[in-house]
Structure 1
Amino acid sequence: MNELNPEYWNRRYLNNDIPWDAGAVTTPIKAIIDSLQDRDLKILVPGAGSGHEVAYLISKGFKNVTVCEWAPAAAGRLLSRVPELAKDQVLVEDFFLLNGSFDLILEQTFFCALPRNRREDYVQKVYELLVPGGALRGVLFSVEFPFDRPPFGGSRDEYLRLFSGKFEIRILETCKNSIPPRSGNELEIYFVKC
């Protein structure tokens, strides 16, 4: 099965088969957003799904937020939940074909949904989309899962191997404020484009 296709993800949202949806912005992402000072940052949230972090960004005064979501059902859900977003801020398209430049890419449960053979492509695309000095921040799983479907886990060593050639690794450590179902299984990341 090719997990990286719009039909698969759209079906999951249409059937409300989204067990990863925490129902609200997660505590690590909330803390990252709360630490941001510049409300004019150009922010990309790939694979935002229901977009709890997007709603929180908007509520905190960030207006220059772009979502890249492959599933039309998820994009529709997000637009109805966050009416302050303009339709052109929610792009229903393939992340790997996206153009633009961003100061910050906020990562949560997108990387782990990609097939492992797309991970190097993800790193390259993030690098291309970020302005010089731009950052990738968020959380990545620090555990391997016994599934042949998403989520696909990972390890600190793998992330160092993938990202350290193109990014300054500022933070790559066990997340101390994960939500209970993910406690001990997440790494907070803060990678700055070299």
Structure 2
Amino acid sequence: MNQEFNAAYWEQRYQTNQTGWDTGSITTPLKTYFDQLTDKNLRLLIPGCGNGYEAEFLSRNGFTQVYLADSAPAPLANFKKRVPGFPEEQLLLQDFFTLDGTYDLIVEQTFFCALPPELRPAYARKCAELLPAGGKLMGLLFDTTFEKEGPPFGGNREEYRLYFAPYFDFLVYETATNSIAPRQDKELFILLQKK
């Protein structure tokens, strides 16, 4: 792989508005899941958060322990403009693989597909490191292949199962039924619980 997908690469994509993955708001599968959560004190991590629409939704709905992590400063700055009262210490300008701490729930929304596929086993391992026993990883993974070389990088549920199975029990692992139109039948909704 020739391209290095580092912080500078992603910052350049934000600065030049090459953000085709950005839906402009929280997507329905994540909103539906968040709407049924009752514990507003859960510690949530959104890695590769981008413009953080999920965190904006959670924050506006009373969740106080939401942490956003991104390696590029632009999306965190965009989020801060939209949600000015959000705690500064919960905006983490940091590479996902260097994060520490413990979270009750990790939210996956277009971060996994942005990583070079060779990092997927490390992603699964890192998620497990950041969660206590019983902690959850929830979100969406693309269950499709793409015509162009990524990012986004596609894949399939059988491949992904190999990465997560050593660390997680699979509570929900099925095609999302409420994806946004361009992603209909191409997303896998996951809810995994750390062993």
What TM-score does the superposition give when structure 1 sets the normalisation length? 0.97
Whether 1:100 and 2:117 are equivalent positions in the alignment is no
Following the alignment from structure 2 to structure 1, what is the Cα–Cα distance between the partners of residues 61 and 179?
A: 21
Q: Deviations over 1:42-95 (max 9, x none)?
A: 000001111111100101110101111111111111111111212111111110
What is the Cα deviation at residue 148 of structure 1? 2.3
What is the Cα deviation at residue 149 of structure 1? 2.2
Corresponding residue number in structure 1 for 2:189: 188
Corresponding residue number in structure 2 for 1:169: 170
Q: Deviations over 1:136-194 (max 9, x none)?
A: 00110010113322000111101111111110001110100000010010010000000
- Is the Cα contact below 8 Å between 1:3 and 1:149 reproduced in 2? no
Following the alignment from structure 2 to structure 1, what is the Cα–Cα distance between the partners of residues 187 and 41?
A: 28
Following the alignment from structure 1 to structure 2, what is the Cα–Cα distance between the partners of residues 126 and 85?
A: 24
Paired letter, 2:24: G
What TM-score does the superposition give when structure 2 sets the normalisation length? 0.97
Corresponding residue number in structure 2 for 1:53: 54
Structure 1 unaligned residues grouped into runs of 5+: none
Corresponding residue number in structure 1 for 2:115: 114
Structure 1 residue runs of 4 or more that deviate by more than 2 Å after TM superposition: 1-4, 146-149
- Is the Cα contact below 8 Å between 1:107 and 1:137 reproduced in 2? yes
Following the alignment from structure 1 to structure 2, what is the Cα–Cα distance between the partners of residues 132 and 4?
A: 31
Paired letter, 2:139: G
Match of 1:190, SS? strand
Paired letter, 2:149: D
Paired letter, 1:141: F
Following the alignment from structure 1 to structure 2, what is the Cα–Cα distance between the partners of residues 83 and 3?
A: 32
Corresponding residue number in structure 2 for 1:151: 152
Q: Deviations over 1:85-123 (max 9, x none)?
A: 121111111100111100000001000000011000000
Paired letter, 1:120: P
Matches within 5 A, 1:1-194: 1-194=2-195
Following the alignment from structure 2 to structure 1, what is the Cα–Cα distance between the partners of residues 56 and 38?
A: 17
Equivalent pairs counted in the alignment come to 194
- Aligned sequence identity (%): 45
